[in-house]
Amino acid sequence: MAITIQQEPIDILQTVFGYKSFRGQQAEIIEHVIKGNDALILMPTGGGKSLCYQIPALCMHGVVVVVSPLIALMQDQVAALKQLGIKASVLNSTLSPGEAEYTEELMQAGELDIVYVSPERLNTERFLELLTRCKPALFAIDEAHCVSQWGHDFRPEYTEFAKLKGIFPGIPRIALTATADELTRQDIIKHLRLENGRVFSSSFDRPNIRYRVMPKDNEKKQLLNFIETEHKDDSGIVYCISRSKVEQIAEWLKNQGYDVLPYHAGLGAEVRKRNQDYFIKNDGVIMIATIAFGMGIDKPDVRFVAHMDLPKSVEAYYQETGRAGRDGLPSDAWMVYGAEDIVKLRGFIYKSEADETHKRIEHQKLDSLIGYAETMNCRRQVLLDYFGEKPVSKCNNCDTCLEPVTGFEGTIAIQKALSCIYRTGQRFGATHIINILTGKEDEKIKRFNHNKLSTFGIGREYSKFQWKSIFRQIIALGLVNVDLEAFGALKLTSSSNKVLRGQEKIFLRKDTIKEKPSKTKKAEPRKRTSFTDPKSNALFQKLRELRLSLAKEQNVPPYVIFHDSTLIDMITAMPRNLPEMGQISGVGKSKLERYGKAFLEVINEK
């Protein structure tokens, strides 16, 4: 199929989007697509996936159809595209019948460059018939991991997209995702019939994100200390495993004086929409949420993502933490976890109605995440290795690099723990076993005569906190199971026999045991900007205030005006006139005309 190019991609990038050059494989991908070829595009959050279909939309004749399950993303991207002078619209459940009809008329008249549609609408015969009259130039299937049952967000409606190849032969199709292991990638290719397409896989590294994981020890206090010392006035997301915990943390943080909102599926649709809208359109807001929140949130200045509980998989963790620092500025992925998280997640898998194959894979995915949490190696290396990358050097931007972790030979400690579990009949939870090991004669221990056991007090060399760390690790290693139907009783597994018999040695993380503060290099708080002088920081705040004012006038998120990174570049360059302002990264022709003068006035005011 011959395709006529209306404009060169590099010209569009510079004049419309205001960027001087493409990043990574963007130029190669765009050239491949506008030649009419299919592709699977694997690129991290914030890596510039959207340009891979937005620029072709301005190069090719016909409308580009972007399929997304994320209403928030559709609306944000359309708002951002309109700021650039690009003709874009949405077709989803938020539109009235009249609005939808008007958008369809624009499509048929060739008046739209891009239209974002929901999966459900794309699958209807009526819409497919409409498309045959609109001559689509390209189909872009976003969040393509949703097609895989092994992905973390499987959506059955995605499996119907394979029919696009038969209905629209010769029209290129691209699938895009930020999170997909090898199993999920093969599913995407198979279910979307992309066997003849090319796979573009960018690095999954997000070097601006600092990764930190620590054991739970008064988690509310840990979270407050993290926010107060490093992100006092920043926007962030805090993930919790349950709705009730979301409410508790949100209420507690609000009482500490923070601008906080909850988000979970138990809230009404209107409340969720209002809270999400407030988070997107304001600075310094913290969202406390379950995993129901975040997909399609395009807010680039989220400075931290905190996890109060373990996610279900490395893919889920990567996608959730990837919502921090989309603008490339320094950001944090911070997590606390405990043995109870492992137990709870294993319980979810055990009780699910999935078949045994699916359960086995879910256990494997959880094991990979636990391995990441417990690692003594560079966290970024472990994370990238999971996605098939082999980084050569350590990152020096995660907790295990900044404060190197050592291990200790924990076999004897584990033998004591396993022996105590066995001698108490495998009927008690970790707290009771720890009390026995540390020689605490409470009423429960006396009632069961456990102060008479040979294991009573044999673990006094470790504190209660240290024993909690040891038990968390032996649960993670599979040496002990937790029986949820027996009030959390610890049970020995077949793997524990070799350790009890001295046939296997086990090394444990020493850094999880509270000892004297480390004298090694600490993770210093990182500021959003690199400005050291008060004058530049004051100007940065003035530019942000102007941006917020302009955004509120138009009822759009501030970042669709300019990203923080663009404001920082303005302060660094200090443009004196419109031509110089037009050289700033992120200031395209349309934005220069709309906002250039206003921002110059603030920059150059005496």
**At 45, is the pLDDT very low, low, confident or very high (cuts 50, 70, 90)?**
confident
pLDDT, residue 150, reads 67
- 73/168 same-domain check: yes
- Same domain for 241 and 351, yes or no, is yes
Return the DSSP state at 451: G
User: What is the tally of structural domains in the chain?
Assistant: 4
Confidence at residue 296, expressed as pLDDT on a 0 to 100 scale: 66
Q: Would you say residue 307 lies in a domain?
A: yes
Looking at the fold, whether 216 and 356 belong to one and the same domain comes out as yes
Residue 255 amino acid letter? N
User: Would you state the pLDDT for residue 2?
Assistant: 42
* pLDDT, average across residues 493-509: 90
How large is the greatest C-alpha to C-alpha distance in the chain, in angstroms?
87
Note whether 294 and 389 are same-domain residues.
yes
pLDDT at 195 exceeding the cut of 90? yes
For residues 63-67, give the mean pLDDT. 95
Question: What is the per-residue pLDDT for 355?
Answer: 85
Q: What is the SS3 assignment for 504?
A: coil
CA distance 173 to 512: 48
Per DSSP (E only), the strands in 364-485 are 407-409, 480-483
Query: CA 46, CA 297: separation in Å to the nearest integer?
Result: 11
Mean pLDDT of the chain: 90
Average pLDDT over residues 236-265: 96
Specify the range with the lowest mean pLDDT, choosing from 169-173, 282-286, 483-487, 541-545: 483-487
Q: Of 8-17, 291-300, 499-508, which gets the smallest average pLDDT?
A: 291-300
Distances, alpha carbon 264 to alpha carbons 260, 286, 288, 297, 342, in Å? 14, 14, 9, 15, 22
For residues 259-273, give the mean pLDDT.
93
Whether 526 is in a domain gets the answer no
- In this predicted model, what pLDDT tens digit does every residue of 530-545 receive, in sequence order? 677 889 989 999 999 9
First to last CA, the chain: 59
Separation in Å, CA 359 to CA 150, 342, 454, 474: 10, 15, 39, 21
As given in the structure block, the two tokens for residue 566 are 């663009």
CATH label of the domain that carries residue 450: 1.10.10.10
Last residue of a domain, one of 178, 201, 224: 201
Distance CA 239, CA 302 (A): 13
Task: Check whether residue 116 and residue 72 sit in a common domain.
Answer: yes
State pLDDT tens for residues 351-401: 888 888 888 888 888 999 999 999 999 999 999 999 888 887 899 999 999
Collapsing DSSP to helix, strand or coil, 587 comes out as coil
The closest of 34, 98, 30, 91 to 66, measured between CA atoms, is 91
Q: How many CB atoms lie within 10 A of CB 15?
A: 16
Q: What is the mean pLDDT of residues 283-293?
A: 92
pLDDT at residue 528 in the model? 57
Quick: pLDDT tens for 543-585: 999 999 999 999 999 999 999 999 999 999 999 999 999 999 9
Domain boundary among 135, 167, 201: 201
How many other C-beta atoms are found inside a 10 Å radius of the C-beta of residue 373?
A: 24
Residue among 403, 339, 322 nearest 373 (CA): 339
3-state secondary structure of 90: strand
Q: Which residue has the tokens 């569009």?
A: 12
Q: Under DSSP, is residue 198 helix (H, G, I), strand (E, B) or coil?
A: strand
Report the pLDDT value the prediction gives residue 530, as an integer from 0 to 100. 61
| For range 329-346, the mean pLDDT | 92
Question: Are residue 411 and residue 395 in the same domain, yes or no?
Answer: no
Average pLDDT over residues 185-210: 93
Residues 143 and 240 in one domain: no
Give dist(CA 253, CA 223) in Å, integer.
9
Residue count of the chain? 606
Number of other CB atoms surrounding residue 602 within 10 Å = 14
Q: Do 380 and 437 share a domain, yes or no?
A: no
For residue 184 the two structure tokens come to: 């999920």
Taking the C-alpha atoms of residue 507 and residue 363, their distance in angstroms, rounded to an integer, is: 23
Q: Give the CATH number, domain containing residue 242.
A: 3.40.50.300
523 within a domain of the structure (yes/no): no
Q: Which residue has the higher pLDDT, 459 or 349?
A: 459
Residues 299 and 559 sit within 8 Å (Cβ to Cβ): yes
In sequence order, the β-bridge partners of residue 128 are none
Asked whether residue 37 falls in the same domain as residue 141, the answer is yes
Rounded CA gap, 452 and 389, in Å? 54
For 53-79, b where at least 16 C-beta lie within 10 A, e where not — what string?
bbbbbbbbebbbbbbbbbbbbbbbbbb
Strand pairing category for 331-337 and 209-215: parallel
What's the pLDDT tens digit per position in 217-240?
899 999 999 999 999 889 999 999
Mean pLDDT of 473-497: 87
- Same domain (yes/no): 386, 273: yes
Residue 518 has pLDDT above 70, yes or no: no
3-state helix vs strand vs coil in the chain, percent to 5? 45, 15, 40
Looking at the domain assignment, is residue 521 inside a domain? no
* pLDDT recorded at residue 413: 95
| pLDDT tens per residue across span 410-463 | 999 999 999 999 999 999 999 999 999 999 989 999 999 999 999 999 999 999
Residue 47 has pLDDT above 50, yes or no: yes
In this prediction, residue 527 has a pLDDT band, given cuts at 50, 70 and 90, of: low
Do residue 125 and residue 45 come from a single domain?
Answer: yes
Confidence of residue 1 (pLDDT cuts 50, 70, 90): very low
Identify whether 517 is part of a domain.
no
Could you tell me how far CA 173 lies from the centroid of its own chain?
25
Instruction: Give the pLDDT of residue 263.
Output: 95
Domain that holds residue 479: 407-509
Residue 517, pLDDT score: 40
Domain boundary among 380, 402, 424: 402
154 or 593, higher pLDDT:
593
pLDDT band at 526 (very low <50, low <70, confident <90, very high): low
70 is a domain residue? yes
Residue 389 lies inside a defined structural domain of this protein: yes
The pTM for the full model equals: 0.83
Lowest mean pLDDT of 26-35, 161-170, 272-281, 521-530, name the range: 521-530
pLDDT at 600 over 50: yes
User: Within this chain, do residues 411 and 396 fall inside the same structural domain, yes or no?
Assistant: no
Of 100, 185, 170, the residue nearest 138 (C-alpha): 170
